[in-house]
Structure 1
Amino acid sequence: MDAAETPRTGPSFRLRLAAASPWPRRRIVGEAVLTPVLSGIAGILGTTETGSLVQGGALTLFVAALSLARRALPASVLLAASALAGTFLGTFALLVCAGWSAGSRIERPARALAAFTAGFVLHLVVGVATAPDEDLGLSAPATVVLAGAPFLVLAVTPGFAARYRAQRHALLDALRRHNTQLVREQAMVARQARLLERQRIAQDMHDSLGHQLALIAVHTGALEVDPELNSRQREAVGVLREASRSAMRELREAVGILRNDTETSGPGPEGAGSLSNRAPASVDELVASSRTAGATVELQRSGTQRPLSPAVDRAAYRIAQEGLTNAHKHAPGAPITVALRYEPDSLVVEVANGPVPAGAPAAPPAISGGQGLTGLRERARLVGGMVHTGLTPGGGFRLAGVLPYTGGERQPPPDGATSVAGDDYFRGQIGGALASDGGGVLERDVPHKEFTTIMSRKKNAALGCAATAVVLAVGVGALLVWGVSKLIDEVEKGVIPASVYESARVGEAEADLRGKFPEGGSLLTEGVEKQGPPLPDDAACEHFVDDDKDIVYRFCFRDGKLASKVSYTYSP
């Protein structure tokens, strides 16, 4: 019946006691305070009640042992405390603690009900068996109420409160576990959807852009060897061919990133796991290509060159590339300055161009999607940097990026949290398919059978406890009201006013006097005849108590008439 027991093959008594240790520090402190309090109350009141110091000391030790074992053996301690509470008044505090432990640690409702029922019966039987002889004149219902009501208040009420608290904590733990599982599954759904979309984009890029760039490379290669071209034209065609080949390499790199969901370094095949210095070399290539195309480009470097993380290396290259591209498109013929400044904590990449020279031919309308600078700002933000753009005092344009040396990888949220998309994103994903690919994203068991079972069980248990608590409260209240009314009736049966005693005359008919007396006997007059004068022989006497003073009125009848009446004081 104990919580520590397991069905059929439970551990031995010694193992069950050992299972409760080692105790945490908080429990050691609590037991060190609670055990002396419980045993001290029981010992002091037990010594006062029995008048024996030996019995009080033995009771103190026994209560201390039960207090320490109440968590490992909740049902056994509840039964022992119920029996003790029926015998010794000082063990009421132990009964409260035993009821609390039994309510929270006996898991099965049937076992808990059996333990509390057995404790109630044991408390009632022991209480009646050890009651004084003069207290046994009550009726059976009154005896049950007076002996059982303390058990309901001291044991059952704390047991219900502890059981509700334990079930509430178990429900909250289940909610936390399943919420964590749901967050993990949402993160898996988001990653799966992202991978599918990246693969689709990579496939589209490979099929469309790859084909077009391959055609450009083939035709420029054929045009470069055309004997009708002069040297300058052949050099320009070579620049176009190298640009198409570079674009092909970058396209393959982007497609690889999208398909594998891995980070690579700047232009080139370098892996993501190491730091890189490819940005300076790549910027040199960009500057050389621009000079070959006829632009005036100056490259400046300052500071001590430091290795960059892959994401920062790639961002630096993209900033220089975007700055040069914008200068060529919007200010053809203007001088361009590219600067790489290695500051103590960050790399500054700056591309500035002057105003368009006077008399320069008008540039054709630029083809632009308007997303270049927006993409640069987002790329810099992801590595912990920023991008600034604006006009220069001379009428030119300046693009500058500030990038930390070790940025680039997203840090996981603190405390193991997982960042996922909004709820609307997952409604079309979970258990279904993406509209673009027609395939399932993630198979899930919806709803969670285990969670549904726990919720249903805990909900039913909570409702059952609440209903039982209400019924118990109403029942205890009704029993207390009934018990008080019965006690008042018992008192009224043994009380008469002084006027009844004074109006009675010796020789008066017994029937006339009994009409003035209350009906039946009363516990209030039990034993009062021992404190008065000796009873007369061959007479039936009735004793009553004054309703205001500690005075007993005795009426003795013989042969149907009042033979004598006596009044005397008594000590209740």
Structure 2
Amino acid sequence: MNVTSWARDLWQRLTEPGQWSRRRLVGEGVLALALGLIAGRSELDFGWPWAIGAGLIVAALSLLRRTLPASVLIAAGAIGSLSESGGLFLLGVAAWSAGRRIPGVLQALVAFTVSFALFEAFALWKAPDQTVFVLVFGTALFLMFAVVPGLTNRYWTQRRTLLRTLRLRNVQLLREREMVASQARLRERQRIAQDMHDSLGHQLALIAVQTGALEVDRELTGRQREAVGVLREASVAAMQELREVVGILKDGTPEEEQPVSRVVAGIEELVEAAVAAGMRVGVERSGEIRPLAPAADHTGYRIVQEGLTNAAKHAPGAAIAVNLRYEPDSLLVEVANGPVPPGEARAAGQGEAVSGGQGLTGLRERARLVGGMVFTGPAEDGGFRLAGVLPYDSAEAGEARKTATFVDASDDFRQQMEEVAPGDGGPVIDRLDPREEFKDIMSTKKSNGCLVGAVVGLLILVVLAVAAVFGIGAIVDEADKVMIDPVVYESVKVGDPERQVREKLPEGKSFLTSDVEDKLPAEPAGMSCLSLLSTDTSRGLLTDTVYRFCFKDGKLSEKREFHVKS
């Protein structure tokens, strides 16, 4: 790849749509400006042109660190030792970004190693006579400004990736569990449908045949024949409803369209059948008639049917009022019966004995699924009232169906993953054992990279920690060679024998005093001098107190105290 194509590819990556949002543009600009100003301020001693150039280079590298993480990290390693404060801050930012964006563990290791080598090489080039000091403190600085931020961001990114993978697998588990439960429900519905068809269908067929034969019996009176006809029609209607329910149970499909006799428009026929059976029922309609969704239309019919059935069982002989009131936003269906006449109390008690208690529960569920509600309770006159509110708009029903799920609310983890929901489709895993699932997650290439990266990072930290411990020990040993207490300095007198004086003083040969000796006055002619550092830090950490002892003709000829700015 030549320079032109490389530059074109870099420009495309920098100007990629979505790469620079307004928030990121402001943040990156502020960060680049801050790093550039810090770098320029630290280089003012070399002149304004050098300071401006250093600031521009640091700012440019800061803007490029997302696109070229490895290259910027290597360049920051070189600048970090050349430019003191600005370069170190750039190194920290570049390492933080590189820890996340360099894909492979080996690539990241190579990039950090090259950056560290350049960091130490340029530091040694600046101070060639302080090798041990540069190696020890350079390693500590690189560990603090590069390795720790890089490993921290890499671990944080890998942890988020692993958590997202676990969440995706959790969603897949929920999706598969929903599919398994759906299949189980379908099989159970088919079994129930078969049982209903075999048992109830047979019994209803016998009732229809027997009542049909009884209806043509010549010995019956006209009123008896009319009652038998009502029973026959009821059994035929029950057979028809049973076939509809069995079909729904077998297919597992909702009731999209109902026969005309099973919707609100068929309530008139339902009431006529109840009146023919001897019940006192009246119907009242109010408001402008408006169409309902098919499911809501059928629910209104079921409310009236359940109300009439309950009144027949629990309040035989009582007056029943059916009220259909079309409100602006919903249909109000109400069935209210009066108190039970005294002579019918025994029949009402017998009706309660055969009540299953499931009709009202089913009605409430039907109403909820269409976005409505059902109310039950005693009426003001001592009777009973059943009312339902059914909205015209089916949007509420759609929302209600979305919330209807077989997963219990306390056990629903889909809230953890907004991006993917169980109903959105997607791959389905083929195992439910958590141990196998975890093994599958950890066997992926990305997860292996996470583990290898964590192990390599841990090894690097251990090696650097050991090197830092040995380095600190070496610094302490070097300090013992060149540092003395002010009391020792006062105890030595000019004219004392050189051998006696040197027995009280340390060796004095260390890299710690090489920089200080260059700032001292020239040694007196004909004398050999020994420069040592004082343990007294009362003048501050930026000022070194230096004791110089000069010998001539086997005696201490001069001792002086200097205060050198570091």
TM norm structure 1: 0.78
Quote the residue 1:42 is aligned against. 39
Check conservation: 2:532, 2:548, Cα contact below 8 A. yes
Quote the residue 1:543 is aligned against. 530
Greater shift in the superposed pair: 345-354 or 97-106: 345-354
**SS of 1:200's equivalent?**
helix
In 2, the alpha carbon distance for the partners of 1:528 and 1:294 equals 123
Amino acid at match of 1:305: I
Quote the residue 1:4 is aligned against. none
Check conservation: 2:495, 2:557, Cα contact below 8 A. no
Residue deviations 1:5-57 (CA, integer Å, cap 9, x gap): xxxxxx95642553343312222111111101111111121222xx2322222
Instruction: Tell me which structure has the larger Cα radius of gyration.
Output: 1
**SS of 2:492's equivalent?**
helix
Residue deviations 1:296-352 (CA, integer Å, cap 9, x gap): 332222222222222322222222222322333344444433332223343333334
In 1, the alpha carbon distance for the partners of 2:450 and 2:60 equals 36
Greater shift in the superposed pair: 450-459 or 180-189: 450-459
Change (3 A) 1:81 1:479: farther
**SS of 1:307's equivalent?**
coil
Check conservation: 1:498, 1:546, Cα contact below 8 A. no
**SS of 1:23's equivalent?**
coil
Quote the residue 2:421 is aligned against. none
Greater shift in the superposed pair: 216-225 or 194-203: 216-225
Amino acid at match of 1:202: A
In 2, the alpha carbon distance for the partners of 1:503 and 1:120 equals 51
Check conservation: 2:80, 2:87, Cα contact below 8 A. yes
In 2, the alpha carbon distance for the partners of 1:180 and 1:531 equals 77
**SS of 1:503's equivalent?**
coil
Quote the residue 1:531 is aligned against. 521
Please, which runs of 5 or more residues in structure 2 have no aligned partner? 413-427, 537-544
Change (3 A) 1:343 1:423: closer
Change (3 A) 1:443 1:214: farther
Quote the residue 2:557 is aligned against. 565
Residue deviations 1:422-448 (CA, integer Å, cap 9, x gap): 49999xxxxxxxxxxxxxxx9832333
**SS of 2:506's equivalent?**
coil
Greater shift in the superposed pair: 442-451 or 303-312: 442-451
- 1:32 pairs, out of 10, 29, 51, with 29
Quote the residue 1:296 is aligned against. 280
Change (3 A) 1:462 1:217: farther
Change (3 A) 1:417 1:423: closer
Query: For 1:186-201, what aligned pairs fall within 5 Å after superposition?
Result: 186-201=177-192
**SS of 1:502's equivalent?**
coil
C-alpha displacement of 1:141? 4.0
Residue deviations 1:183-230 (CA, integer Å, cap 9, x gap): 322322332222222222222222222222233333433444455655
Quote the residue 2:542 is aligned against. none
Quote the residue 2:136 is aligned against. 145
Change (3 A) 1:489 1:409: same
Amino acid at match of 2:296: V
Amino acid at match of 2:267: V
Query: For 1:477-492, what aligned pairs fall within 5 Å after superposition?
Result: 477-479=468-470, 481-492=472-483
Number of paired residues? 520
C-alpha displacement of 1:467? 4.0
C-alpha displacement of 1:166? 1.3
Change (3 A) 1:362 1:529: closer
Q: Does 1:256 align with 2:225?
A: no
Check conservation: 1:174, 1:451, Cα contact below 8 A. yes
Quote the residue 2:302 is aligned against. 318
Check conservation: 1:494, 1:518, Cα contact below 8 A. no
Quote the residue 1:309 is aligned against. 293
Greater shift in the superposed pair: 104-113 or 477-486: 477-486
C-alpha displacement of 1:176? 2.5
Q: Does 1:80 align with 2:67?
A: no
Among all aligned residue pairs of Structure 1 and Structure 2, give the percentage whose two residues are the same amino acid: 45
Quote the residue 2:422 is aligned against. none
Check conservation: 1:82, 1:122, Cα contact below 8 A. yes
**SS of 2:157's equivalent?**
helix
Quote the residue 1:444 is aligned against. 430
Change (3 A) 1:391 1:65: closer
Change (3 A) 1:301 1:111: same
Q: Does 1:116 align with 2:112?
A: yes
In 1, the alpha carbon distance for the partners of 2:380 and 2:34 equals 83
Check conservation: 1:74, 1:98, Cα contact below 8 A. yes
C-alpha displacement of 1:145? 0.8
C-alpha displacement of 1:372? 3.0
Query: For 1:49-448, what aligned pairs fall within 5 Å after superposition?
Result: 51-89=46-84, 90-131=86-127, 136=129, 138=130, 141-226=132-217, 231-264=222-255, 268=259, 279-355=263-339, 363=347, 365-366=350-351, 367-383=354-370, 384-390=372-378, 393=381, 396-406=383-393, 410-412=397-399, 419-422=405-408, 444-446=430-432, 447-448=436-437
**As a proportion of its length, which structure holds more helix?**
2
Amino acid at match of 1:387: F
**SS of 2:43's equivalent?**
helix
In 1, the alpha carbon distance for the partners of 2:533 and 2:158 equals 55
Amino acid at match of 1:471: V
In 2, the alpha carbon distance for the partners of 1:71 and 1:243 equals 78
C-alpha displacement of 1:502? 1.3
Please, which runs of 5 or more residues in structure 1 have no aligned partner? 1-10, 271-276, 427-441
Change (3 A) 1:554 1:494: farther
Change (3 A) 1:363 1:552: closer
Quote the residue 1:437 is aligned against. none
C-alpha displacement of 1:278? 5.8
Change (3 A) 1:265 1:250: farther
**SS of 2:557's equivalent?**
strand
C-alpha displacement of 1:499? 4.1
**SS of 1:338's equivalent?**
strand
